[in-house]
């Protein structure tokens, strides 16, 4: 059989990611503040778009027997977004590893004396709504405060230049994380000049800025207080023993008696481990909720929830029809008419995508509130295990759509402002075998038990297992230890040593007052 070229006609169907669908998917992922910026760019690009006045009842969602919510209308974009993703649309699903992270205590700061990293750690609407704006930073930053002093401390211009460069390298806590040798190589100056400039920074207020580790920061403050003697130097060189609670060994190394040792510890507590935080750093990021939730009574008198999009951050976008008519009258050329028609189609699609975004967010948020009704009424101890699939099956959307909706979105209620991802938590088996409970509820129970323990009766992990079983949580000892460490609570030995250290300090303070 011979081989030769030929032409064939074939028909096939495929889902193509059009620019309009990509835009709609992108809008689902953005927060309200990001959508506001997106609308600003759209206004500059499309002359037919304009900002209109929002109606008074624009934020009021529809009401159903359980809670107020909206429903999606049938449209081409609704169908495309609801069906999920195309060939090139990768889902933005929530990382399961992040679902088991404690979201109540935040990032706990930990002192690492061995490596010197002490810096690790950490609008409008209804006037009766919960406060959700964070405070901005102070007017004067740490760098500005230090730069104002540096000019009066030395007349050597090169030394002042190096010192100013070092000031700009300080973190918010006032620590210098840049090694001096690297700084000397970057500036092209001898190492001793960088060291001299750092010594100049150490003389600035507040005392302790420019330190490279916790020990050096506290030592600078001890020198200013005229308390830096050999005993205090040995104490500051072994701060890791304080963290481990090994006070007997530390006291022996310092070669002091009980009274002097307690006095040194009290002196140490009076120092500031993060002197730079007295001043404002970079502006604090404002967290503005996208969804507002408040208690409300339904038409039949039963308690429900009022769920609304935060319209204070969303301008109402409209199409300027009179301007379109005028432009159309002046368009004689075919290319001009085609361009105007394209702009009108883009504007109509954008308005539809924004409306669809609001309805989808409200629909998903309403289902989350319905699933986590116990949390909104009673607190974190009633938080239920919840997955993306559960919500997706209930609202008849794809899991990837739920992931996009909950990404970078915040919900404000009477209990505070929470990221929508907060309500998706893993679960553990209950003691009675009837269903599962949220990992967040277990962490809250562990925190409450440890907070209520007596200094002479510190609870071990085995005891916590028994107490949690009485509360309905069937957990293994290693699981309790994992959750305890996740919320920043030490072992029973560490807590017992810490309580003994606190008791020693209280006794010393009592002796000082008696004197």
pLDDT at 94: 35
Q: What is the pLDDT of residue 189?
A: 86
Proportion of the chain above pLDDT 70, given as a percent: 75
> Residue 434 pLDDT > 60, yes or no?
no
Are 375 and 322 contained in the same domain?
yes
What CA–CA distance (Å, rounded) separates 317 from 236?
Answer: 61
The boundaries of the domain holding residue 179 are 142-278
* pLDDT 10s digits, 446-499: 888 888 888 778 888 888 888 888 877 777 788 888 888 877 887 777 777 777
> Which of residues 216, 248, 278 is at a domain's end?
278
Same domain for 467 and 498, yes or no, is yes
Residues 6+ apart with CB under 8 A from 340: 324, 327, 328, 331
Residues 209 and 169 in one domain: yes
- The whole-chain average pLDDT of the chain stands at 75
Find the mean pLDDT for residues 237-257: 81
**397 and 314 part of one domain:** yes
> Residue 154 falls within a domain, yes or no?
yes
Pick the range with the lowest mean pLDDT from 115-124, 148-157, 252-261, 389-398.
115-124
Residue where a domain terminates, one of 363, 395, 423: 423
Q: What is the model's pLDDT at position 51?
A: 87
Last residue of a domain, one of 399, 423, 447: 423
Prior bond of 221 cis (ω within 30°): no
What per-residue confidence (pLDDT) applies to 360? 92
Do residues 357 and 469 share a domain? no
d(CA 433, CA 430): 5
Same domain (yes/no): 444, 413: no
**Are 401 and 298 in the same domain?**
yes
Task: Please check whether residue 411 lies inside any domain of the structure.
Answer: yes
Q: Kindly state the tokens that stand for 152.
A: 């009066």
pLDDT > 50? residue 372: yes
Pair 416, 434 in one domain: no
The answer to whether residue 131 is domain-embedded is no
Q: Is there a single domain that holds both residue 152 and residue 239?
A: yes
233 with 345, same domain: the answer is no
The reported pLDDT for the residue numbered 368 is 92
Is the pLDDT confidence value at 81 over 50? no
376 lies in the same domain as 458: no
Clarify whether residues 296 and 385 are in a common domain: yes
Gap between the Cα atoms of 416 and 432, Å rounded = 32
Residue 360 lies in a domain: yes
Total number of domains constituting the chain: 3
Q: What would the pLDDT profile of 155-202 be if each residue is shown by its tens digit?
A: 677 888 888 888 888 888 889 988 888 888 888 888 888 898 898 888
User: Which pLDDT belongs to residue 224?
Assistant: 86
Question: Who has greater pLDDT, 95 or 314?
Answer: 314
| Tens-digit pLDDT profile for residues 311-334 | 887 888 888 888 888 888 888 888
The yes-or-no verdict on residue 106 having pLDDT over 50 is no
Q: What pLDDT score does 133 carry?
A: 42
Asked whether residue 117 is domain-assigned, the answer is no
Q: What is the pLDDT of residue 30?
A: 86
Distance CA 134, CA 314 (A): 19
Per-residue confidence (pLDDT) for residue 130, from 0 to 100 = 41
């Amino acid at each position: 059989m011979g081989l030769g070229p030929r032409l064939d006609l074939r028909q096939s169907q495929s889902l193509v990611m059009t620019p309009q669908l990509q835009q709609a998917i992108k809008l689902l992922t953005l927060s309200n503040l990001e959508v506001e910026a997106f609308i600003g760019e759209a206004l500059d690009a499309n002359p037919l778009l304009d900002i209109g006045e929002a109606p008074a009842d624009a934020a009021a969602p529809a009401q159903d027997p359980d809670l107020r919510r909206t429903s999606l209308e049938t449209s081409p974009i609704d169908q495309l977004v609801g069906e999920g993703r195309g060939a090139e649309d990768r889902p933005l699903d929530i990382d399961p590893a992040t679902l088991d992270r404690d979201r109540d205590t935040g990032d706990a700061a930990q002192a690492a004396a061995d490596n010197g990293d002490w810096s690790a750690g950490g609008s409008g609407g209804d006037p009766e709504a919960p406060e959700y704006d964070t405070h901005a930073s102070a007017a004067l930053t740490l760098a500005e405060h230090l730069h104002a002093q540096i000019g009066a401390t030395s007349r050597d211009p090169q030394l002042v230049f190096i010192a100013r460069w070092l000031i700009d390298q300080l973190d918010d806590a006032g620590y210098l994380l840049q090694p001096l040798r690297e700084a000397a190589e970057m500036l092209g100056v001898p190492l001793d000049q960088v060291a001299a400039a750092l010594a100049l920074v150490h003389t600035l207020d507040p005392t302790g800025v420019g330190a490279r580790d916790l020990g050096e920061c506290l030592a600078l403050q001890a020198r200013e207080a005229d308390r830096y003697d050999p005993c205090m130097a040995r104490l500051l060189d072994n701060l890791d023993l304080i963290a481990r609670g090994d006070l007997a060994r530390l006291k022996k190394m310092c070669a002091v008696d009980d009274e002097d040792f307690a006095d040194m510890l009290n002196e140490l507590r009076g120092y500031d481990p993060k002197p730079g935080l007295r001043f404002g750093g970079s502006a604090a990021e404002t967290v503005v909720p996208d969804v507002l939730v408040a208690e409300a009574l339904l038409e039949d008198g039963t308690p429900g929830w009022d769920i609304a999009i935060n319209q204070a951050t969303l301008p109402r976008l409209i199409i300027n029809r009179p301007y379109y008519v005028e432009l159309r009258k002046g368009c004689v050329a075919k290319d001009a008419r085609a361009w105007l028609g394209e702009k009108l189609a883009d504007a109509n699609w954008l308005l539809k995508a924004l409306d669809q975004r609001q309805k989808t967010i409200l629909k998903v948020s309403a289902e989350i509130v319905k699933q986590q009704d116990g949390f909104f009424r009673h607190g974190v101890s009633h938080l239920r295990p919840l997955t993306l699939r559960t919500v997706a099956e209930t609202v008849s959307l794809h899991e990837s759509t739920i992931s996009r909706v909950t990404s970078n979105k915040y919900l404000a209620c009477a209990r505070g402002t929470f990221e929508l991802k907060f309500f998706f938590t893993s679960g553990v088996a209950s003691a009675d075998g009837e269903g599962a409970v949220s990992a967040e509820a277990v962490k809250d129970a562990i925190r409450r038990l440890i907070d209520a323990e007596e200094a002479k009766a510190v609870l071990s992990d085995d005891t916590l297992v028994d107490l949690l079983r009485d509360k309905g949580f069937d957990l293994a000892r290693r699981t309790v230890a994992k959750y305890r460490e996740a919320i920043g609570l030490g072992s029973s030995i560490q807590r017992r040593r810490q309580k003994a250290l606190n008791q020693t300090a209280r006794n010393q303070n009592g002796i000082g007052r008696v004197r």
